[in-house]
Amino acid sequence: MKKLKIISMVMAILMLIVMVLPLTTTLATTDAKSLSYGVEGENVIEVDGRYFAKEGDTVTLFAYDYATGEKVTLPENVGFNGNSKVVTNHDFDTPVPGEFTLDETSTKITVKSTDDWINYEVADLTTKEKVGNVDLTVNDEVYEQKALTLKARQYDYVLEGENVVNIDGDWYTLVGDTVTLVAYDKETGKQVAIPENIGFDYTGKIGDGLEGAEEEKTDIKIDETKTKITLNSKHEIGFNVRNLLNADDIDWVTMCAVSEAKYRELTVNEVTEPTTENIVNAIEDYKTTIVMMSEPTLVEKEVFVALKEAKNATLQINVANVTWEFNSETITKTDSHFTPAVQVSAEKFSHIKPNDITDGLFIEFAYDGELPGEADITIFVGADKYGEGQKELNLYYYNELTAKYEDMGTATYRNANLKLSLDHCSTYVVTQTKLETTENPTTPGDTEQEGQTTTENEKDETPKTGATNLYVSIAAVVAVISLGALVTMKRVK
């Protein structure tokens, strides 16, 4: 009886195993079908969902979750089933078997066929049921083209030019401008050389979103390098950046060409509340920033940091009867504040010693020292002294140490306005007659820079270098005498 019970139990277990085994196999197959498959190897690359390898490469099968793109463990007993189809010259209707060597695990293939497209079947090796496939291109020439596409996609592309500006995410330039395709590394943000054979072709619509654009007539010239476009008509247009060897899409760039009136409307921003934040934001977003001041207000150094980082941007500061204009390309100094106050007088200032100027205008700046960059300064001086029309006046820097005038070239007078270009602020005079000047003029500020210790470079009475050295020498002598007295006292004790 006991033997019969044992035999019955064994039989029941065997039957259960037989019943469960197909179910387990079915579940495994179902799981394998829910995955996607790819190949990897030393040279394998993936571009737009297709894999590319070099001739003779060995590639290894792997599985990944299609929804997340994350690699997962390759299901057991899943591998290549030995079937492959080779498409020659894109003839998908008549594929031919491919040549390859399959290893004992059925997960590694050494490719022998060379063509544009090879499809390898992936199957459950136990049930022989197909669970997926892998498309692979094995062609050295095609591989190099696809590798170029991958490299080019590491960069962001924009069109740049002398007048190009970005306003609220849209790019604008003037009609007649030539713009150039430029690449920037996505990780570092630094400009890089455009890879060879990467350029653009015209694929956009004319006039979309641009009021008054010429939809019928379009004059666009693309140079032979496919990286420069001349926009000779008013329009909005988009360009595909492509690998010119195989037409792979790399990026998309757009540009609006507008009239001068529209360009000024778009690119000039007037700041009436001259806070540092407002000025910096305007510089970052607009081509020209015009700051309106009711009275001279301190301009923080952060403003000139922003201007230096901008490209071909202009900062104009209007205060009382004076206009200051700085350009981003000439900014060299961003470590000090600046006050745009100017005093102009037909009478010489008290600290000027010579009394031999009768036809001059004396100019004194609140700021003293080197400017953040060369500035074009326009001062309304009235027409009483020089009348109407335009004339060139002599410009001189007054050197307080030598009590001499030093020749600084010329300034332009036109219809009551005096215009001069300076990179340094100090005391100046303009005259119609030539003055006697020093034979070896110094750069303005060379004799004053040692004494400039205030943050805003305001004039001060800090001792000059010679006086400072004298004080240091006296202090050293006193220190030596004190040390000698101390040693003597110790010996006496």
| 75-97 residues labelled b (16+ CB within 10 A) or e (exposed) | beebbbbeebbbbeeeeeeebee
Biggest alpha carbon–alpha carbon distance for the chain: 141
Q: For the chain, which residues make up each domain, given as ranges?
A: 30-138, 152-258, 263-451
Share of the chain above pLDDT 90, in %: 47
Where does the pLDDT of residue 483 fall: very low under 50, low under 70, confident under 90, or very high at 90 and above? very low
The region of weakest confidence among 12-21, 235-244, 480-489 is: 480-489
Q: Of 5-9, 11-15, 164-168, which has the strongest mean pLDDT?
A: 164-168
Where does the pLDDT of residue 13 fall: very low under 50, low under 70, confident under 90, or very high at 90 and above? low
DSSP-based three-state secondary structure for 379: strand
CA gyration radius, the chain: 39
* pTM for the predicted model, two decimal places: 0.59
Where does the pLDDT of residue 330 fall: very low under 50, low under 70, confident under 90, or very high at 90 and above? very high
Are residues 179 and 160 in contact, defined by beta-carbon separation less than 8 angstroms? yes
Please give the mean pLDDT across all residues of the chain: 81
For Cα atoms 417, 422, 424, give the angle at the middle one, nearest 5 degrees: 135
The region of weakest confidence among 27-36, 203-212, 259-268, 322-331 is: 203-212
pLDDT of residue 166: 85
- CA–CA separation, 167 and 162 (whole Å): 15
What does the pLDDT average to over 366-393?
A: 92
What does the pLDDT average to over 191-213?
A: 70
Q: Which residue's structure tokens are 């591998």? A: 79
Domain 152-258 CATH class label: mainly beta
Token reading at 99: 């040549």
- CA–CA separation, 65 and 45 (whole Å): 18
Token reading at 275: 């806070």
- Identify the H or E element spanning 21: helix 2-33
The CATH label, of 2.60.220, 1.10.287, 3.10.450, 2.40.50, for the domain at 263-451 is 2.60.220
Q: Tell me the per-residue pLDDT of 448-473, one tens digit each, with 9 for 90 and over.
A: 433 333 444 555 433 333 332 333 33
- CA–CA separation, 49 and 57 (whole Å): 19
Burial of 427 (0-12, 13-18, 19+ CB in 10 A): buried
Where does the pLDDT of residue 446 fall: very low under 50, low under 70, confident under 90, or very high at 90 and above? low
Q: Tell me the per-residue pLDDT of 132-145, one tens digit each, with 9 for 90 and over.
A: 888 888 889 999 99
